[in-house]
Amino acid sequence: ADYVLGNNPKGLSYMVGFGSSYPTQPHHRGASIVSIKKDPTSITCQGGFDLWFNRIAPNPNVLDGAIVGGPDEQDGYTDSRSNYQQAEPATATVAPYVGLFASLA
């Protein structure tokens, strides 16, 4: 749990929104596109991909509590939406931590 929350060589929390340094570009389409409340302009499926998903900037919506895939074998992590191997928050990634973090609460 300490490693995931930032006690690692990069000092990066792999839980989005936790601590002062965490991934800002998780591979998540909903988080990578602006809210309709902020920009009501109609966006097509392809437009959302082209205009938002491929943008090199932090996601406009923070996925608080999501845990990304994590580092590679050398503790390297590239914070990029296109790096789905490391940046995708999946239920299979977070499942083991739900019980662990619940026991710490």
Catalytic residue among 12, 14, 25, 27: 27
Q: Give the whole-angstrom CA distance, residue 71 versus residue 75.
A: 5
Q: For residue 27, indicate whether it is catalytic.
A: yes
Q: Give the whole-angstrom CA distance, residue 77 versus residue 100.
A: 23
∠ CA 73-55-16, rounded to 5°: 50
CB 6 within 8 A of CB 12: yes
Tokens 């591979």, located at residue:
27
Q: Give the whole-angstrom CA distance, residue 54 versus residue 97.
A: 30
Residues with active-site annotation: 27
